[in-house]
Amino acid sequence: MGVVAYVLGMVLFSMIMGNAFAAFTVITAGIGVPFVFALGADPIVAAALAMTAGCCGTLLTPMAANFNALPAALLDMKDPNGVIKAQVGVAIVMIIIHVF
């Protein structure tokens, strides 16, 4: 349950913040240390997986303007969320892989 909370917490908080770096410290201190690291997980492996899970959250949000909103504007896409829609499948698969 700790791993699920850690991964999904990183994804959701990255979506809110717009990037994984800001979410990493908050979620690691609040969920990672007491519920994952304290139970015996390797901190290096768990932290690396948490950062990449956070990057999956970045793929799913318009708050990540550099990655999602700017390319849509530069490419003159009709759908401003077209970049996000193209990335949803990869992000969902990667989130599931992170949990396992």
Handedness of CA 69, 67, 16, 7 (dihedral sign): positive
- Reference 15, options 82, 61, 70; nearest CA is 61
pTM, full prediction:
0.85
Query: pLDDT at position 91, please?
Result: 92
Long-range contacts of residues 42-50, Cβ cutoff 8 Å, at least 24 apart = 46/6, 49/7, 49/98, 50/6, 50/7, 50/10, 50/24
Query: pLDDT at position 64, please?
Result: 79
Is the pLDDT at 12 greater than 90? The verdict is yes
Q: Percent of the chain beyond pLDDT 70?
A: 100
Is the pLDDT at 94 greater than 90? The verdict is yes
pLDDT digit string (tens) for 26-53? 999 999 999 999 988 899 999 999 999 9
